[in-house]
Structure 1
């Protein structure tokens, strides 16, 4: 029933998405605010999370808080069905355990990261379109390059007609490190935290054990993935010239060095609080839903 594991991962992620997508919109706007400008030397239409929520709702309407939701659903289903499916396959085959049968944090990192890298690359076109749709705003509160898409299908058509298949995977070099770091740390922490909470008799009730472990995993993934998340947003959203080359960044490393040089360490952690408010509950909901779906699958199998 490996296919059911992959399906469970995808459905769990979509269930969590509806609650957390507004924070993703806020995060993208803040990450693009003051792009390649020194701190304090640029306009700040978004002055914090609460102010950003009000600003988006006021200028884009309440539906603006769910911009990019459709491609986000594709992303979550593709990424999480692959990464959670790969990881659960590894767990079921004991590939995440040492020879002594102990859950290995390192092996968990490897299998979590491998599945995420695969999922991130496959879903890269949708991640780019989601980012570009979420950044679109009225001129008075616009940040970053403004793409003129009228929705996901229109965006795919525009990008393909201009730059072909390669254009749809532009910026994928930025999402693979982000996906690998984030997923590896999230999944490995989740598995190890569940084990430790049970071992030390801290939280043994199954559902509560999953929720607590997922919360801890969300905190870890936010810290680990924040800089690469900013880089991925910048690479995906930048404009391109007639040859399909980025107007601001040549690639992942060029983006990293330019942000660090012009915006400082602060620039690499822009949108951090929006990320932690979005990723921690998303991680908690996602991994809890995933555990529950797997429990239902196993219960069904036992009745056959």
Structure 2
């Protein structure tokens, strides 16, 4: 019975992950905008550059001041207007296929991370459910999500690092791109060139984010679905699954976005041999980000995050419910 939960969760997660991969890629690109440690592009008067990288598009009087106080003032507009601009620029410069950069890493990540967290959550939920009433308190659902998310993130971190790097590679100057051929090539090169520990770079952030996402996403889906059915608002069907899953996706996006921004930057940082790393850790990255770009920088990429988290969560749970029906006799 336990294995079945892993299989069902794995299938649903892989389908949902591949379907929403382009939105996840745009989220990563937006989270890296304005990063003070990012490679500086060659000066260009092109307005398209200013649209893509508003945090680096200073007025003439502030071109020599990367830490200019103008940066934080521009941040609120980035999240609202950046998604389409970043997407259009990406397609123009790198082609439509670039929207699926790193999709092999997404498949591996969902296979390792999501399969583990979904299966483990299912096991804990069944184990902690009251056998007499058949109910499970919200606090127990959240606890199950925290544990499942932590274990899943630890297992899937290498694929997560590879995915972030492959998605971010196209924004670097051609000479500085890593040009990983696949997720296997990315992981093997990281292990060979930067050491095995590099595969777990940012793992504390990944684990914290996964705990927040899993607890908020899975627990809120179960709770909202139960409330809808108990109050008789809708019957158990597609409408209930879509409503509960979209609400769960919104909750997960709000809870996890700040950790996700820091995780993306720490995982993507380039550490030159003998040089000091751009960030010494998660806290250092958070402080530098807030100082240079303002507190709202922690919600960079929120539009694509919710744009992806909503459809991903809907696809995840709708697919999961259908897979459960197909496998109910096994």
Taking structure 2 as the reference length, the TM-score comes to 0.82
Report what 1:118 is aligned to: 151
Q: Distance in 2 between matches of 1:16 and 1:40?
A: 31
Match of 1:268 in 2: 298
1:291 Cα offset (Å): 2.0
Name the structure 2 match of 1:43: 57
Q: Does 1:53 align with 2:87?
A: yes
Find the counterpart in structure 2 of residue 32 from structure 1: 32
In structure 1, what is the Cα distance between the partners aligned to 2:276 and 2:115? 31
Is residue 90 of structure 1 aligned with residue 104 of structure 2? Answer: no
Structure 2: state its 5+ residue gaps. 38-52, 59-77
1:286 aligns with 2:316: yes
Q: Which residue of 2 aligns with 1:257?
A: 287
Does the CA-based 8 Å contact 1:173-1:251 persist in structure 2?
A: no
User: Helix, strand or coil: the match of 1:103?
Assistant: coil
Q: How far apart in 2 are the matches of 1:10 and 1:185? A: 19
Q: 2-side partners of 1:96 and 1:283: how far apart?
A: 24
1:16-42: CA deviation from partner (whole Å, max 9, x where unpaired): 1222100111111110010148x9651
| Counterparts of 1:86 and 1:75, CA distance in 2 | 16
Q: In the alignment, is residue 151 of structure 1 matched against residue 182 of structure 2?
A: yes
Q: Tell me if structure 2 keeps the 8 A contact 1:117–1:179.
A: yes
Q: Is the 8 A contact 1:210 1:288 kept in 2?
A: yes
1:173 to 204, 217, 220: 204
What is the count of residue pairs matched by the alignment? 294
| Distance in structure 1 (CA, Å) of the matches to 2:188 and 2:136 | 46
- 1:9 alignment counterpart: 9
Check the 8 A contact 1:34/1:43 in 2, yes or no. Answer: no
CA deviations over 1:121-146 (Å, ceiling 9, x no partner): 11111111110110111657x9xx85
Q: Deviations over 1:99-152 (max 9, x none)?
A: 865431111111112111111111111111110110111657x9xx85343332
For residues 252 and 127 of structure 1, do their structure 2 counterparts lie closer, same or farther at Cα, with a shift above 3 Å needed? same
Spell out, residue by residue over 1:6-25, the C-alpha distance to the aligned partner (whole angstroms, 9 max, x if none): 01111101111222100111
2:101 to 67, 70, 78: 67
Cα 1:280/1:96, change in 2 over 3 Å? farther
Point out the structure with max Rg over C-alpha.
Answer: 2
Deviation at 1:67, TM superposition (A): 0.6
Take 1:98 and 1:228, find their aligned partners in 2: how far apart are those partners? 37
Q: Deviations over 1:138-179 (max 9, x none)?
A: 657x9xx85343332222222111232212112212211111
CA contact (8 A) 1:82 1:119 kept: yes
In the alignment, is the contact (CA less than 8 A) between 2:30 and 2:301 conserved in 1? yes
Segments ≥4 residues shifted beyond 4 Å: 44-47, 96-101
Q: Indicate the SS of the match to 1:137.
A: helix
The residue number in structure 1 matching 2:225 is 194
